[in-house]
Structure 1
Amino acid sequence: MTGPNRPEAHTAAPRFATDIVTFYHPEFWGLESAGDFRDWAVENPERFWERVLDALTEAGVTGIELTFAPGDIDSVLRAFGDAPSFRRDLAARGLSVVSAFIASSECPDWRHGTNLPAIVADAERRAAFLTEVGAEVLVAGLPMRATFGTRPPFFVDAAYMTRMADIAHAVGEAVAQHGVRLAFHTESNSTLWYERDIDLFMVLTDPRYVWLCPDSCHIALGGGDPVAVARRHSQRIALAHWKDAVKPIDVELTIDETVFAQQQPYMTELGKGIVDFKGWADEMSRTPGAAIVLIELDEAPDPVAALRAGITVAQEARATRA
């Protein structure tokens, strides 16, 4: 989009944020495995959050995105008692929640849409919490694809996307009553991964109720162009995940509970991969979510150093953007 219809760029310096998954590497906690870390964090929510918040402050990051356990809403409530107490603790450190991510494994299944009341109720509970902590974005994803070659085949076609759009409208309208925007994340191997998936879902959904949370890494892993996606849908981007990819995923992964681990070798720290962050920064500056730069680093062994490096990459990209 060019000329008078192209949104104006926002030039004010953004706030930097990150997803709590950044802190999930067992090495950061002096533990042997991911399982050991999860067990420890579930049993020690106060100590988990204390170290995470200290690390965020040390890294110069002021915003957080809650995610799947152990960095989820339920963990916050176990550690702090309630949302206002969490908000006060964050504010004392100069921190705040910007968003929360709904993990597909921790919410009612969207695939068939026969449990819409449960889906909406779950989203409303999360939106109410976000309102109490002062956040405005609830990030969701569409269901995963099936492993290629599975019989009977599962097609991501117009009929499927229409069902997803109907659910998204119901959820988006419900959370909007809490002052929260519902934004959809472009997860690898999900039904919102390829550029075509994103375009189809966006055209089927009402922009007043359904927003986009593009992830630069995952779009690139699907062979897409993150900058082009951001340009086409700039007016509907409520938040974005800044993340880098080594190369597109070039094999058919088995889509099961191990798929996220299978994706890890294709991901890397900001500035070390194939994403054009200068172009990405330019497009992000023209979106409703321009005030937040959310750097995502899945399970970084040294999250403080990785976040500082990511901030530098983002700052340089913004300074030299087109």
Structure 2
Amino acid sequence: MPSALDRIRVGSAPDSWGVWFPDDPRQVPWERFLDEVTEAGYDWIELGPYGYLPTDPARLTDEVTRRGLKVSAGTIFCGLHRGPAEWDATWEQVGRVAALTQAMGAKHLVVIPSFWRDDKTAEILEPPELTGEQWGHLTRGMERLGREVRDTYGLDIVVHPHADTHIDTEEHVERFLDATDSDLVNLCLDTGHYAYCGGDSVKLIETYGERIGYLHLKQVDPDILAGVREGGVPFGPAVQRGVMCEPPGGVPELGPVLTAAQELGVDLFAIVEQDMYPCEPDKPLPIAVRTRKFLRSCGA
């Protein structure tokens, strides 16, 4: 038997049910997601796109509590590298998401940088590399966000490196971490996105362990990824090709990642996210059941 990973709290998210948008006819209804995530054996969930789950705190509390679920985090997207002019729009979004996250008793706000390439059309929206000035806007903006989210809502922000954003590769992730204050900003390490962009999750945990505040568990199919890289395919179509695959069939190996995280000696959420938008409604539950069983075999 593997050793128990007693500092790791495993959950799942609407993403693993093919949910990317607040409202989309190709997504399963939220009631079905909550029923099935419970059936699959998970105790923790994320809110997913704001507006997918009920946004009234009393109603959502009732819905999750009667299924034995708890909420670990909410999520926002932002483009703070564009400078102070972005702040008001960012804070308006934060206000909605963070208030609901706080009301649900969660302690984390996952922050995803905005995409430089449209994830549907492949249109290049911005250069993939930031200027020095833009890096300054990004790092100072994230520190301000971390401070104000903590002061206003009592939440910690965890910044999520993501494919087709400016925080993606090992070089960019390390530059971001080196330029930000660990008291204000830490990382949501998504093992799939980091592998997609060429990074080594175990190495990052071992090198920047004090900055790892949250985990998303995900794997990449290396053969599909090779074709994606060769063809310059944007993230959305890459997902439709199946680039994010069911564990344990891809990379990185999740057992060593979870062991490295356990060795940090702190409590960490590890939320399963297998991007599958769009998918057939009957596809997610069997995968979720198998994935939960696999993670138990790793000790989680």
Q: TM-score range by the shorter chain?
A: 0.7 to 0.9
Q: Aligned with 1:87: secondary structure?
A: helix
* 2:191 aligned residue: 216
Q: Does 1:308 align with 2:289?
A: yes
Report the Cα distance in structure 1 between the residues aligned to 2:161 and 2:82, rounded to whole angstroms.
20
5+ unaligned residues in a row in structure 1: which ranges? 1-8, 26-33, 42-46
* 2:179 aligned residue: 204
Shift of 1:20: 0.6
Alignment of 1:134-213 (within 5 A): 134-145=105-116, 153-177=127-151, 178-213=153-188
Q: Does 1:251 align with 2:230?
A: yes
* 11 and 17 in structure 1: CA distance in 2 versus 1, 3 angstrom threshold: closer
Shift of 1:22: 1.6
* 1:131 aligned residue: 102
Alignment of 1:231-310 (within 5 A): 231-247=206-222, 248=225, 249-251=228-230, 253=232, 255=234, 259-265=235-241, 266-287=243-264, 290-299=267-276, 301=280, 302-310=283-291
* 54 and 75 in structure 1: CA distance in 2 versus 1, 3 angstrom threshold: closer
Shift of 1:276: 2.0
Shift of 1:40: 7.1
Report the Cα distance in structure 1 between the residues aligned to 2:33 and 2:167, rounded to whole angstroms.
30
* 84 and 10 in structure 1: CA distance in 2 versus 1, 3 angstrom threshold: farther
* 1:21 aligned residue: 15
Shift of 1:124: 3.2
Letter in 1 for 2:237: A
Give the structure with the larger strand fraction.
2
Letter in 2 for 1:218: H
Of all paired residues, the percent bearing the same amino acid is 21
* 38 and 167 in structure 1: CA distance in 2 versus 1, 3 angstrom threshold: same
* 73 and 289 in structure 1: CA distance in 2 versus 1, 3 angstrom threshold: farther
Report the Cα distance in structure 2 between the residues aligned to 1:234 and 1:252, rounded to whole angstroms.
34
Shift of 1:21: 1.7
Report the Cα distance in structure 2 between the residues aligned to 1:150 and 1:87, rounded to whole angstroms.
40
* 288 and 183 in structure 1: CA distance in 2 versus 1, 3 angstrom threshold: farther
Report the Cα distance in structure 2 between the residues aligned to 1:93 and 1:277, rounded to whole angstroms.
27
* 163 and 149 in structure 1: CA distance in 2 versus 1, 3 angstrom threshold: same
* 94 and 111 in structure 1: CA distance in 2 versus 1, 3 angstrom threshold: same
Q: Is the CA contact 1:243–1:270 (under 8 Å) kept in the aligned structure 2?
A: yes
Report the Cα distance in structure 2 between the residues aligned to 1:195 and 1:270, rounded to whole angstroms.
23
Q: Aligned with 1:239: secondary structure?
A: strand
* 116 and 282 in structure 1: CA distance in 2 versus 1, 3 angstrom threshold: same
5+ unaligned residues in a row in structure 2: which ranges? none
Report the Cα distance in structure 1 between the residues aligned to 2:74 and 2:30, rounded to whole angstroms.
16
* 1:29 aligned residue: none
Alignment of 1:38-53 (within 5 A): 38-39=24-25, 48-53=29-34
Using structure 1 for the length normalisation, give the TM-score.
Answer: 0.78
* 73 and 232 in structure 1: CA distance in 2 versus 1, 3 angstrom threshold: farther
Alignment of 1:53-72 (within 5 A): 53-68=34-49, 72=50
Shift of 1:290: 3.8
Higher relative contact order (CA 8 A, sep 6+): 2
* 165 and 269 in structure 1: CA distance in 2 versus 1, 3 angstrom threshold: same
Letter in 2 for 1:156: L
Q: Aligned with 2:184: secondary structure?
A: coil
Report the count of equivalent residues: 283
Is 165-174 or 117-126 further displaced after alignment? 117-126
Cα deviation, 1:251-283, whole Å, max 9, x if unaligned, reads: 25355xxx4233443221110012122220112
Alignment of 1:104-115 (within 5 A): 104=77, 109-113=79-83, 114-115=85-86
Q: Is the CA contact 1:14–1:290 (under 8 Å) kept in the aligned structure 2?
A: yes
